[in-house]
Structure 1
Amino acid sequence: MRIPIGRFTVPPEQPVVEEKTPSPSDKEAGVVSEQHPSDHESDNDAISSDAQAGVKKIEATTKVWSKSHLIAAYIGIWIIYFVDAMQQGTGTLLTPYVTSSFQEHSLTATTSVFSSLIGGISKLTLAKILDIWGRPQGYMITVLLMTVGLIMMAACQNVQTYAAAQVFYWVGYNGISYTLSVFIADTSSLKNRGFMLAFVSSPYIATVWITGPMAQSLLQGIGFRWGFGIFSIITPIMCLPLFFLFTYNYQKAKKQGLVVIEKSGRTFWQSVVHYFWEFDVICLILLSGGFALFLLPFSIYSYQAYGWRDPLTICLIIFGGLLLIGAFVWEAYFAPVQFLPWSLLRDRTVMGACCLAAILFVEYYIWNSYFTSWLQVVLNLNVTQTGYVSNIYSIGSCFFSFFVGIAIRWTGRFKWIAVYFGVPLTILSIGLLIHFRQPDTHLGYIIMCEIFYAFAGGALVICEQIAVMAAAAHQHVAVVLAMEGMFSSVGGAIGSSIAAGIWTGVFPVKLAEYLPAESQGDLASIYGDINVQLSYPIGSPTRTAIMDAYGEAQKWMLVGATAITGLAIICVVAWRDIKVKDFKQVKGLVA
């Protein structure tokens, strides 16, 4: 595939002053208006003088690299997305069997709650690392975390260890995806960015045919542990070339005098204290702990003696709420360096895009958390077939995002796509599933709704990312993308919690109601293990009862998802109708 390359002119050299431990970034973040005056004030392609060190470093890097290196970078990003997509798709199919191996199938959604929260909130910390230390350094940290998570999943001996491994994995996985998005923002013009995001996401079109057979082969052969173990070896090997490419060109920029190293003058302990406040560790702990404690009861209340009235459930909600309140009080009155960029959040385009991201992830995780189990138990699909159906969203959204990227480049605008196509089609597709995702449905209707949802998702994901980036200057791109990612992950955690709450509140009750008398004694094992559910033949009274219980739980999940998605209309209407053509947001040789 040919990558459109912009004309490159050699700029007057302006050195980057690199501090080993730079001063706190306490300047108020600015929001670029629709006209982007800062982007048009001069044709000078000089390195931004007011940007943070990490932004200056990447601008220096893009000034000195060749066209072949730019193309190699995008090929490397595409390969990384391919490997990650293959691993993530396979892991999703393996998760119900991992939890079932510990007799805890009902905790399938719960294992992702805390990991989604930490994965999202950590992006703002990662944004600071990218802006202060540099893009390659932050990228390698995420690769290391993802690898550690995969090793832990391969070695886990209980569902608690698996949940802990998910934290490392999703912080790394989301972090890699985020840093690659920042790379793309650094190395592409705004009008082409939608197309470039679609290009690097295109591996999902291929992996849809791989993950299902791979998961089935693993389950029937070497087991899920080696499935995670193999990727713990492959992932770092595939990720390292991109790191070396950016590091090589950064060193090249230093040799040409575009980067000047200056000492900070701080001692080691002073640097520890400095970065403690710079990364606002207190706010990070309060937010992570607050969201985790507040959302956890939705997943575990059915395991408590008195349900929602149980003292543990009530305490978790109260203490979680207090920690969240404490986080906002700390940010407003006491934080020396604020973790949340409030000035950016006040922009209606940025806030609208972030809220849209949260809503999309809430509704997705509500109806998708037990989708692969439903396909196998209710429609009697095997793991390979389940992988094909569950990955329709991946292949459809990535395929359609190419057309969205072209439409944005051609019209120069993105809001109309979300308002008139993306949001209405999303609501329609989820609403139709309320009727169709039942035991007596035909697979074709499920596929039809999945295709509708995939096309709508491909449009909205591209539009929301372009919206946050178009509303901010280049030096704030990493921050606004981190905010969008944080809202997405928190939304995913909320969606997983709601899904787990509906599942644990509806499924076992309906299962006890529908099961024939001879199977009532097996209620606990049926509820806790997908393999037990699949062991009953289609047409038997017990399997029919299980299928009916699935249908009841799925119906209420989809009702909740449809209602929440309606709020997306408000989010996209709030966007400014920004024209992205002819903006020069980035410096150097870019796509």
Structure 2
Amino acid sequence: MRLRSPLDRVVTADVPVVDDAAVNEKRALDKEANLSTGLAGADRESNDSSDEIDTTAQAGVQRIEAFTKVWTKRDLILAYVCIWFIYFVDAMQSSMSNSLVVYVTSDFMQHGLTATTSVLSGLIGGLSKLPLAKVLDIWGRPQGFVICLTCLVIGLIMMAACNNVEMYAAAQVFYWVGYNGVIYTIGIFIADTTHLKNRGLLLAFASSPYIITTWIGGPLAKAFLNGPGWRWGYGAFAIITPVVCSPLLYLFWINTRRAKESGLLPARPQNNRTAWESTKYYAIEFDLLGLLLIVTGLALFLLPFNIYSRQPLGWRSPLIISFLVIGFVLIIAFVLWEKYLAPKTFIPYDLLKDRTVLGACILAGTLFISFYIWDSYFFSFLQTVADLDVTPASYVMNIYSIGSCFFSFIVGFVIRYTGRFKPIALYFGIPMTILGISLMLKFRTEGVNVGYLIMCQIFIAVSGGTLVICEQIAAMAVTTHQYIAVVLAVESMFSSVGGAVGSTVAAALWNSIFPERLMEYLPEETKGNFTEIYGSLVVQRSFPVGTPTRTAINLAYSEAQKWMLVASTVIQVVSIVSVLVWRDVRIKDFKQVKGLVI
């Protein structure tokens, strides 16, 4: 007999609605939820309206509610100052790393694997958030934060010490599990300490450092490349990051102690389990087998699209065929395990039955698929075809970060004062995304003026700042406080899987189009250097602009980029449908959290 998940009790429609049809739909959904769980919607509503700690919530949720009851306004302000600086350092490191990655792969003569290095790390980084959500809910927010910070530092150390692309890719797994986890944990903390109507604005505040670090990442990367080398770029942040995170950890510790002294913390249940029993308990609680099946299955299924061109027989290679077959079998095994055998499922299917949550998750996945298709080789394009140096190329690349973070403030204010998010996404965010990507089809070619590329980046940045805020608010608006961590983990899982799929599509298109066109366009005198030219951005840039070889390289880039942009534009059809299915929820006066919050 299957164990019932706490998510079986999610009430997905206990929110203000817009019209009579929506009211009727709310009643029908409430009735269905109450029949399956025995939990009356009126009871949940009265519980949420009270400022008492929810004793039915999981221990981690009770602890954060106790935390917000004992801390002072000064602590609240200090916490957000700490969060801003953590985001600043992480954004600066991430911006620098985006500029360094092409030089890392080129150092090992594997420039074509630039997108491939992020496939496995993107998958695991996203899928790990569901177990992390359980850590945050069962153990607590500080414990999850420390675990993620440790993974991040290990990843930075491994990247600084790597000797090949394979080790760099493995280091990326640790880094992105840690980086995504730190940002995710902070996002949950923001949700814990803000009213829903203000949450978009505070999420925008937390990401605002990207506006500044955009101008720092490129010069910083160049300084390391021209100075001690890219390895020290990663090594330096392995020291800086934990130092910057320490003040927030201290705030966690001191206020947890206050809550304990006040008698507000839930008593820890006595644990008489043996080591083996504890291992078995947590393996079931976190659905470890399901996690391993889906991560391994997706990785083996997606990797062949990235590496087939490097196999002597291409798609007929035994390695490629075995990866595809085993990956597909493991994905099917995951589905069967989750449906028939898992005591506790990895993916909260009951939560995904809500059309607003599912629509928000699909939108997140679609946006990341589209983004990684057109973005994966954009930095290389800017340095070769547009002939920009590292610093100006990084500025163009990071227009998205600047614009999306800046415009998310505007979206946060609009949501704050209107209490609406669906019209903003549907009538503004989606059209701007389609406009920006489709215009790049015309302008991302050999000989184009960089100003047109900047214009397209601005359009996409504005839409990105709109849709990311709206999708997260949509997912959180239809659930209660104790399920926020899980619902954001699911949304993030879709984003990361989408990113992995997008990187895979980008790598597959690149490896099938670019080398073929490059060999076709190269003049006879340099065809003998094909392997070096294909494998290194540095070698590509070594040929002066206007020479036949550089022109051939630029034309091959343009051809590959064209088909990437076609794929990126077409996938936006799914984005339109995913927003249309959202309920038009009004969140202006919706109370979701307790204690001293913003």
Normalization by structure 1: what TM-score?
0.95
1:107 maps to 113
Q: Give a deviation string over 1:393-436, Cα, whole Å, max 9, x none.
A: 00000000000000001110100010000011101100000110
- 1:303 Cα deviation from its structure 2 partner: 1.3
1:218 counterpart = 2:224? yes
2:38 maps to none
Aligned partner (choices 571, 576, 596) of residue 589 of structure 1: 596
> Does structure 2 retain, via aligned residues, the 8 Å contact 1:31–1:343?
no
> Does structure 1 retain, via aligned residues, the 8 Å contact 2:12–2:354?
no
- 1:498 Cα deviation from its structure 2 partner: 0.5
- 1:41 Cα deviation from its structure 2 partner: 5.5
Query: What aligned pairs does 1:542-581 form with structure 2 within 5 A after superposition?
Result: 542-581=549-588
What is the number of equivalent residue pairs in this alignment?
569
1:384 maps to 391
Q: Give a deviation string over 1:353-410, Cα, whole Å, max 9, x none.
A: 0000000000110010011110001111000001110000000000000000000011
Q: Residues of 1 paired with 2:75 and 2:48: CA distance? A: 27
1:180 maps to 186
1:15 maps to none
1:14 maps to none
Q: Residues of 2 paired with 1:487 and 1:135: CA distance? A: 22
1:56 maps to 62
2:167 maps to 161
Q: Give a deviation string over 1:263-309, Cα, whole Å, max 9, x none.
A: 13322322111111111100000010011011001101111223223
1:233 maps to 239
- Counterpart of 1:352, as a letter, is G
Aligned partner (choices 387, 400, 418) of residue 393 of structure 1: 400
Moved over 6 A (4+): none
Aligned partner (choices 4, 15, 24) of residue 35 of structure 1: 15
- 1:29 Cα deviation from its structure 2 partner: 4.3
2:490 maps to 483
Q: Residues of 2 paired with 1:351 and 1:42: CA distance? A: 23
Q: Give a deviation string over 1:461-496, Cα, whole Å, max 9, x none.
A: 000010111111110000000001100000000000
Q: Residues of 2 paired with 1:236 and 1:24: CA distance? A: 39
SS of alignment partner, residue 440 of structure 1 = coil
- Counterpart of 1:548, as a letter, is L
> Does structure 2 retain, via aligned residues, the 8 Å contact 1:376–1:382?
yes
- 1:44 Cα deviation from its structure 2 partner: 2.1
Q: Residues of 2 paired with 1:272 and 1:123: CA distance? A: 20
1:194 maps to 200
Aligned partner (choices 212, 220, 236) of residue 206 of structure 1: 212
1:119 maps to 125
- 1:244 Cα deviation from its structure 2 partner: 1.5
Measured at CA, do residues 39 and 448 of structure 1 come closer, stay the same or move farther in structure 2, by a change above 3 Å?
farther
Query: What aligned pairs does 1:71-86 form with structure 2 within 5 A after superposition?
Result: 71-86=77-92
1:466 maps to 473
Measured at CA, do residues 40 and 389 of structure 1 come closer, stay the same or move farther in structure 2, by a change above 3 Å?
farther
- Counterpart of 1:543, as a letter, is R
Q: Residues of 1 paired with 2:144 and 2:292: CA distance? A: 20
Q: Give a deviation string over 1:312-354, Cα, whole Å, max 9, x none.
A: 2222112111111111111111111111111101100000000
Q: Which runs of 5+ in 2 are unaligned?
A: 17-40
1:270 counterpart = 2:277? yes
SS of alignment partner, residue 587 of structure 1 = coil
- 1:174 Cα deviation from its structure 2 partner: 0.6
> Does structure 2 retain, via aligned residues, the 8 Å contact 1:287–1:327?
yes
- Counterpart of 1:582, as a letter, is D
Q: Give a deviation string over 1:530-562, Cα, whole Å, max 9, x none.
A: 100010000110000000000000000000000
Q: Does 256-265 or 565-574 show the bigger shift?
A: 256-265
> Does structure 2 retain, via aligned residues, the 8 Å contact 1:34–1:576?
no
2:51 maps to 45
Query: What aligned pairs does 1:492-531 form with structure 2 within 5 A after superposition?
Result: 492-531=499-538
- Counterpart of 2:451, as a letter, is G
- 1:262 Cα deviation from its structure 2 partner: 3.1
- 1:40 Cα deviation from its structure 2 partner: 5.2
1:290 counterpart = 2:297? yes
Q: Which runs of 5+ in 1 are unaligned?
A: 1-22
1:134 maps to 140
- 1:449 Cα deviation from its structure 2 partner: 0.4
Measured at CA, do residues 409 and 40 of structure 1 come closer, stay the same or move farther in structure 2, by a change above 3 Å?
farther
Aligned partner (choices 79, 92, 95) of residue 89 of structure 1: 95
Q: Does 36-45 or 506-515 show the bigger shift?
A: 36-45
SS of alignment partner, residue 28 of structure 1 = helix
- Counterpart of 2:184, as a letter, is Y
> Does structure 1 retain, via aligned residues, the 8 Å contact 2:105–2:113?
yes
- Counterpart of 2:298, as a letter, is F
SS of alignment partner, residue 262 of structure 1 = coil
Q: Does 355-364 or 310-319 show the bigger shift?
A: 310-319
Q: Residues of 1 paired with 2:442 and 2:365: CA distance? A: 25
> Does structure 1 retain, via aligned residues, the 8 Å contact 2:15–2:477?
no
Measured at CA, do residues 39 and 408 of structure 1 come closer, stay the same or move farther in structure 2, by a change above 3 Å?
farther
Q: Residues of 2 paired with 1:538 and 1:55: CA distance? A: 59
Q: Residues of 2 paired with 1:41 and 1:373: CA distance? A: 54
1:243 maps to 249
SS of alignment partner, residue 268 of structure 2 = strand
Among the aligned pairs, what percent are the same residue? 58
> Does structure 2 retain, via aligned residues, the 8 Å contact 1:123–1:482?
yes
1:375 counterpart = 2:355? no
> Does structure 1 retain, via aligned residues, the 8 Å contact 2:7–2:350?
no
- 1:227 Cα deviation from its structure 2 partner: 0.3
- Counterpart of 1:418, as a letter, is A
- Counterpart of 2:566, as a letter, is V
Measured at CA, do residues 228 and 29 of structure 1 come closer, stay the same or move farther in structure 2, by a change above 3 Å?
farther
- 1:43 Cα deviation from its structure 2 partner: 3.9
- Is the helix fraction higher in 1 or 2? 2
